[in-house]
Structure 1
Amino acid sequence: MVADDERRAPAAELFDALGAAYEDAFAGSEPHRASLRWLLERLAPGSRVLDVGSGTGRPTARTLADAGHRVLGVDVSPVMTELAARQVPEAEFRLADIRELPLEEASFDAVCAYFPLLQMDRAEQAAVVVKLARAVRPGGPAVLATVPLDVEDAEGVFLGQPVRVTSFSAGAFTDLVTGAGLTVLAEDRAVFTPARPDAVPEPHLFLCARRDTP
């Protein structure tokens, strides 16, 4: 992660400001928990799992660690990384920008990425998805979630914080994932309203996939 404040990732500023409020707002997402159950069903005991955009560590890292898996959480927000390390001490959390973090080929049994791409441009998102696909062992599972909107650098407000968002339509994001070498086995499209008085409904897309075997 770049220390220079002028070069801090927008996501770091956003999620530093949100802190634990993000967990409170999204704790009721049943599609998120359903995708975690899908992932757990496909993991051997003691699997090594990469959790990108690990946030506060709950529910993702907490669920995986409780099931006995070895979790590496990566997040660009210092506040989130500290919260996660405190709430899920069994897991390892690293303060890093996934765009810059080296990942060895096939070094994880599974990868999950819940909404970490939205403050990246489209080229960066595509590169990160390829990086994550290659980090999973052949045949290993991956879960990726996003807000499926056809927007680029759009201004908005997210849980009371100003934000700029770039994303893909549902079909384009699915094409991006399959083009990276993942086979989509299941998808869940939902509309979720965060648990806050000022929140508005937002579309969510969860893709459950498997890395293609050579």
Structure 2
Amino acid sequence: MVDGNHRSPAAAVFDALGSEYEKAFAGSAAHRASLDWLLAQLGPGSRVLDVGSGTGRPTAATLAAAGHRVLGVDVSPVMVEIASRQVPGAEFRCADIHEVPLEDGAFDAVCVYFALLQMSRAQQTRLLNRLARAVRPGGFLVLATVPLDVEEFDGVFMGQDVRVTSFTAQDVAAVVRGAGLTVVSERSVMFTPTHPDARPEPQLFLHCRRESAEPAG
């Protein structure tokens, strides 16, 4: 669990944003299309890990409504409280995903929608390797990020101070492949969140499959 006396910067940001984050991104057609892609791949009652589950919408809500068993993990206690209330059909834990034990092959799919941006590049790489191992062979990992060549960039996101690190689209795809995943499809879009302080941002959606039993790392 997350120690309230040692909250991560991400927890502080998303505690402050709460439901405003969901409202700002509710209009993302690319996110919903990505979920539609995943739903088309999954068998009935699949087990899915939602990393950075936020308010539970749209990811956990969409998957749970389709009959899948969803575990959402988020570092923000405010987000976990909202998600637990909004999506009672899923399970949510307030925890740092880096500290959550993950068994090899435990999930049919893992979702990582915009959950990496406040981690260092080394942390992102290590986590993606762990998440790849947590996907069963033949299972799927769906990743969305803001593909920029930035490292510890201090900016403002929806009125909150944030420090952002990311990869270019080419480099994040290379990290995913290095984790032992095959990129089945990808989509790049520009999206403007519905918020007075929001600016248009590039977004990259990668739909990946674990081919073998031995991802790298």
The TM-score, its normalising length taken from structure 1, stands at 0.98
RMSD over aligned Cα atoms = 0.8
Deviation string for 1:141-200 (max 9, x for gaps)?
110011101111001000111110001011000000010011000001011000012210
Looking at structure 2, the residues matched to 205 and 96 of structure 1 have their Cα atoms a distance apart, in angstroms, of 26
Give the C-alpha shift of residue 34 in structure 1.
Answer: 0.5
Give the C-alpha shift of residue 100 in structure 1.
Answer: 1.1
**Runs of 4+, deviation exceeding 6 Å:** none
Q: Is the 8 A contact 2:2 2:94 kept in 1?
A: no
Once the two structures are superposed, the pairs formed by residues 1-214 of structure 1 within 5 Å of their partners are 1-3=1-3, 5=5, 7-214=6-213
Secondary structure of the structure 2 residue equivalent to 1:125: helix
Looking at structure 2, the residues matched to 27 and 176 of structure 1 have their Cα atoms a distance apart, in angstroms, of 28
Q: What amino acid sits opposite 1:3 in the alignment?
A: D
Looking at structure 2, the residues matched to 137 and 117 of structure 1 have their Cα atoms a distance apart, in angstroms, of 22
Give the C-alpha shift of residue 2 in structure 1.
Answer: 3.8
Looking at structure 2, the residues matched to 62 and 17 of structure 1 have their Cα atoms a distance apart, in angstroms, of 22
Deviation string for 1:74-133 (max 9, x for gaps)?
000000000000000010001110111110000001110101111111110001100110
Instruction: Answer with 84-93 or 189-198: which moved more.
Output: 189-198
Looking at structure 1, the residues matched to 121 and 99 of structure 2 have their Cα atoms a distance apart, in angstroms, of 16
Give the C-alpha shift of residue 213 in structure 1.
Answer: 1.8
> Percent identity of the aligned residues?
68
The TM-score, its normalising length taken from structure 2, stands at 0.96
